[in-house]
Structure 1
Amino acid sequence: MEHRPSDTYYQNERRDLIPFITRQGTRLIDIGCGEGVFALMLKREMGYTEAWGMEIDDKAARIAATRLDRVILGDVVKTLDELPDGYFDLACMNDLLEHLMWPEEFLIRLRAKLSPAGRIFCSVPNIRQFRLLWNLLQHQDFEYTERGLLDRTHIRFFTKRTFLSLLTRAGYEPISVVGTGTTKSWKFKILNALTLWRSEDMRHGQFYIQAKPS
């Protein structure tokens, strides 16, 4: 049976992301837009004049179509070619790339859809997060869940280093990388000190990345 997330999954505003997004141009697209709440918020609060969305879920896409200027329904990999070339100043992918079989190929194709000054913004989970690795090492626990780092629909996993490497191979240059979901565990602090602070990336459950074509 196909797994469909709860309705709240498609209704998430993600206002927490706004401080990490630099206003770029006038046209944006939210890839995996859910019900269009996030893209509409960016349009209203950051001054974009045109907001598009792409969404595979029929119910969510129909709602998004009432909020956004245009919504493309279908698998984002298969429908990407329906987008105009050189058009979007900002392409957002919130918790999307870990759901794709070939995210590098998708990002390569996406470059053609960006305007000359276009950028991408994406959020990705960190498989090297301390709590997750602690549960794996100490409790032999690697159970998929309904949401979070081990969401049962995730088919790709990234660390900070491997994701930045993927961006480079896909032809992008990172502009900003911010870790969120910070752990305050004393166990992590000890580990970080023992590794001479080379484990700093394990502090975070997710990374927010802005990048531009290189």
Structure 2
Amino acid sequence: MKNLYDKKDISYYSHTRNELLKFLPKKIGVALDVGCAGGNFGQMLKEVFDCEIWGVEPDEKSALIAKAKLDKVFNCVFGKEIRIPAEKTFDCIFFNDVLEHLAQPEEALQLAKKFLASNGYIIASIPNLRFYPAIISLLRHKDFKYLDAGVMDKTHLRFFTKKSIIRLFKENGYKIKAIEGINRHRFRYLEILNFILLGSISDMHFPQYAIVAIKNE
């Protein structure tokens, strides 16, 4: 698996993710960016909110780049062994395109609760398996084909739809505040079919969903 990550284009680790700004709270004092890559998203948060940003990134080269941009970076996976002080809490914990890379995303969400402030938010983006090109590949071409990036990324270990994303969070003790498709694509035939079906397949326009959740206490 490590070899697959090593072969990623540098752009894979450098996204800023401006499309997630609309889901952020009005104020952030300190946040944790899990899978921070090269630190560009965290750097943007620091510029917008003048806040403290910690990052977690297992890729050594990306973690080194992020250390120059963020307040603290852990070059490791987000697991029970991570050396975040027990008393440290965060206003926001981000999982931007991370949970699908984990064999047990449930464990990551459970661990996040330990470090999330009582009024804090989990904000995540997760690929949508019902994205139109992925479904067409399966139904028309009869192929579950892995790619270098996107919904069918070779490094994805888990796959989700809007319904299963909601279930993942609810079953792990979270209350959903918002869930919305992002980075919408337009497909002519899907637009027509969705109109005929009264909007019942509108989720197929979106390669990802953004989700905002709080602890269900």
Structure 2-normalised TM-score?
Answer: 0.91
Distance change in 2, residues 1:157/1:62 (3 Å): same
Instruction: Report the alpha carbon displacement of residue 20 of structure 1 after superposing the two structures with TM.
Output: 2.5
Instruction: Report the alpha carbon displacement of residue 194 of structure 1 after superposing the two structures with TM.
Output: 4.3
Which residue of 2 is the match for residue 117 of structure 1? 119
Instruction: Report the alpha carbon displacement of residue 24 of structure 1 after superposing the two structures with TM.
Output: 4.1
Which residue of 1 is the match for residue 60 of structure 2? 58
Unaligned ranges ≥5, structure 1: none
Provide the rounded CA distance (Å) in 2 between the counterparts of 1:203 and 1:95: 18
How many residues of Structure 1 are paired with residues of Structure 2 in the alignment?
A: 213
Contact 1:123/1:209, CA 8 A, preserved across alignment: yes
115-124 or 187-196, larger mean C-alpha shift = 187-196
Aligned ranges 1:145-184 → 2 under 5 Å: 145-184=147-186
Contact 1:80/1:110, CA 8 A, preserved across alignment: no
Distance change in 2, residues 1:39/1:92 (3 Å): same
Instruction: Report the alpha carbon displacement of residue 81 of structure 1 after superposing the two structures with TM.
Output: 5.5
Identity %: 34
80-89 or 159-168, larger mean C-alpha shift = 80-89
186-195 or 147-156, larger mean C-alpha shift = 186-195
Contact 1:28/1:52, CA 8 A, preserved across alignment: yes
Distance change in 2, residues 1:86/1:169 (3 Å): farther
Which residue of 1 is the match for residue 210 of structure 2? 208
181-190 or 165-174, larger mean C-alpha shift = 181-190
The 3-state SS of whatever aligns with 2:125 is strand
Contact 2:58/2:76, CA 8 A, preserved across alignment: yes
Letter in 2 for 1:91: I
Provide the rounded CA distance (Å) in 2 between the counterparts of 1:183 and 1:8: 21
Given candidates 81, 92, 99, the residue that maps to 2:94 is 92
Contact 1:72/1:79, CA 8 A, preserved across alignment: no
Provide the rounded CA distance (Å) in 2 between the counterparts of 1:147 and 1:118: 31
Distance change in 2, residues 1:72/1:114 (3 Å): same
Letter in 2 for 1:106: A
Distance change in 2, residues 1:11/1:182 (3 Å): closer
Which residue of 1 is the match for residue 3 of structure 2? 2
Which residue of 1 is the match for residue 33 of structure 2? 30
Given candidates 15, 19, 39, the residue that maps to 1:16 is 19
Provide the rounded CA distance (Å) in 2 between the counterparts of 1:183 and 1:14: 16
Contact 2:34/2:93, CA 8 A, preserved across alignment: yes
Unaligned ranges ≥5, structure 2: none
Which residue of 2 is the match for residue 103 of structure 1? 105
